[in-house]
Chain A
Amino acid sequence: MSKYKPTIGIEIHTQLATKSKMFCGCNNDSRGSKPNSNICPVCMALPGTLPVINKGAVEMAIKMAKGFNAKVANVTSFDRKNYFYPDSPKGYQITQMYEPIIQDGFVEILIDKEFKKIGIHHAHIEEDAGKLTHPDGADYSLVDYNRAGTPLVEIVSEPDINSPEEAKRYLQEIYNIVTALGVCNGDMEHGNFKFDLNVSVSDSEELGTRTELKNLNSFRNAERALKYEIQRQIDLLESGEKVKQETRGWNDAKSKTFSQRSKEEANDYRYFPEPDIPPLNLSNDFISEIQKEIDVLPSTIRKELLEIGLSVDDQDLLISQPKTAKIFQDAREILKKEKLIKKAVNWLVGDFQALGLDDRKDLTGKNLAELVKLIDDEEISSKIGKEIFAEVCGGEAPSKIIDDRGLVQVSDDTELEKIITEIIKNNPKPVEDYRSGSEKVLGFFVGQVMKETKGQANPSKVNELVVKLLKG
């Protein structure tokens, strides 16, 4: 590692998964809609129109606060950020400059098997802008206002991040939290989760000049862009040059950052309190009532998975699938014993993942726990378990499946002895081999028994009896 230490702060824009927009009743989901079809006088900023807060968005922000171990401001208010741009219908964005709703939180990211706290300075509610497109070669741009007024929560981290890897893990952690809470759909291709990265390097305690990498929307690119930018800044400093404070973009094709706007060109946004919207006065009762609805947070699940020794990759996998994590949680409640919980997790990170989303959508924690127990109690073999797993994921209870089909494991000595005796009788050659010292034919006999019982025989039992009868 070089003598330069990077310092990174991140601003994340998460689109909230509300039904309607932030300040009007327009549909908030315009995927597949025609341009300018989800608009109304309010989000088009017609003269005389006024904003009305979407309570659902406030509730989602309150849930987020819990996920970020943060405080919900009891008194929170909205402000105007003034700037002219064709995608900003009012000429200002309604945001929260002075009293953001979420204040003073943190998340923990796992770096080298240690948890590191990343502070969240604050997070605030604001509205998204419309979408601009620039047809190739044309001397015009086109505006679609469907997205104008979509509720966003912007999450502003403390500059606690010191490497591209930490940045990536922080982004993933936030992503996991907001999707687990159901407050963001997490559709990154549709811009549900975008971020700006502030980065500087320094070889002393004093922070270096920072640049801002704007508008990234993939974890991988965040990591790559940061790696590039950190090296670029180090190279500048090493060659005696200065880093210029500016906004830079990421060119994916060229794998490079490039200058977009210098600090001198920065806008004066003339923030002031939004006079059209009275402040919010959120009581602690109101806040806890909303936060009560939260099941389990990703951070809690991660700690549980870590405890049972699951690999980081598998942790990530489970946490990134809120529904799967919920199945895990429910199964864990029932199974209690670590050995069994691990088995449940193995199903979830293994066979479960191989199924299509639609095919696995009906698995419940209860059924998974039942399956694990049936195998552990040797009621069924693990082979049968695998065979019926798809059906269990389709919503059937394992006990019902094995009852219906008579798949209960055969452990009855008399029955098994009868079968084994028959096999010995019909296979004199292997019997002779065994008796003359070849242990490996044992497998042949066990296989034959399993074949005969269609896998329902208890394998260790079979082993024991085969040996006994062969020696007989």
Chain B
Amino acid sequence: MNKINRSDIEAAAKLSRIELDSKNINSITEDFGSILNFVEIIQKAETGGVAPTSQVTGLNDVWRDDEVVKSEVEPRVLIDSAPETLDGYVKVKKVL
């Protein structure tokens, strides 16, 4: 059984940059434990010497030539979608 407590959830929420209210934390803590138990079955799998699979295409060396290609979208449009901008920059709250 996986013992998951509030602090584990808070740590994961911090990594994910997600604010949780206390109601959220309680319900997620509960779910989290049961999800981890649910996926526990993989621990029983005999994986000695088994290579991990991160993709299933079998592809290699997929690349493009080093050439400048004009953006399909005007740079201006890409900036205009930002919640806050200033003089062509994307504006954010002060980085400390």
Contact = CB atoms under 8 A, between A and B. Distances in A.
Nearest to A270: B15
Contacts of B90: 36, 86, 142-143, 145
Given A86-B92, A86-B95, A38 B64 contact: no
B1 to A, nearest CB: 25
Given A140-B93, A278-B62, 14 more contacts: A25-B69, A26-B71, A35-B88, A39-B78, A41-B72, A52-B64, A54-B64, A138-B94, A140-B92, A273-B54, A273-B55, A275-B55, A277-B62, A281-B60
A14 B74 CA distance: 29
A140 B86 CA distance: 10
Given A39-B78, A55-B64, A278-B62, A134 B94 contact: yes
Interface string A19-50: 11000111110000011111111001010000
B91 A140 contact: yes
A73 to B, nearest CB: 13
A86 B68 CA distance: 25
Interface size class, chain A = 35 or more
B63 A36 contact: no
B68 A25 contact: yes
Interface string A178-191: 00000000000000
Contact of B75 (A18, A39, A57): A39
Interface residues of B, number: 35
Contacts of A145: 90
B67 A36 contact: no
B88 A36 contact: yes
A143 B66 contact: no
B63 A54 contact: yes
Given A39-B78, A44-B78, A134-B95, A58 B69 contact: no
Instruction: Decide if the interface of chain A is mainly helix, strand, loop or mixed.
Output: loop
Nearest to A131: B89
Contacts, number: 124
B57 interface: yes
The 4 closest A-B pairs by CB, nearest first: A56-B66, A25-B69, A40-B71, A142-B89
B78 A36 contact: yes
A274 B67 CA distance: 23
A268 interface: yes
Interface of B: 15, 17, 52, 54-55, 57, 59-73, 75, 78-79, 84, 86-95
Contact of A57 (B66, B84, B92): B66
Contacts of A275: 54-55
Nearest to A283: B61
B66 A54 contact: yes
Contact of A278 (B59, B65, B91, B95): B59
A25 B67 contact: yes
A39 B70 CA distance: 9
25 contacts: A20-B66, A20-B69, A25-B67, A25-B68, A25-B69, A26-B68, A26-B69, A28-B68, A36-B75, A36-B88, A39-B78, A40-B78, A52-B62, A53-B64, A55-B65, A84-B17, A132-B95, A138-B94, A141-B95, A143-B89, A278-B57, A279-B60, A280-B60, A280-B63, A282-B61
Given A39-B78, A40-B78, A142-B86, A20 B67 contact: yes
B67 to A, nearest CB: 6
Contacts of B87: 35, 142
B89 A144 contact: yes
B89 A19 contact: no
A138 B86 CA distance: 12
A139 interface: yes
Contacts of A85: 95
A40 B92 contact: no
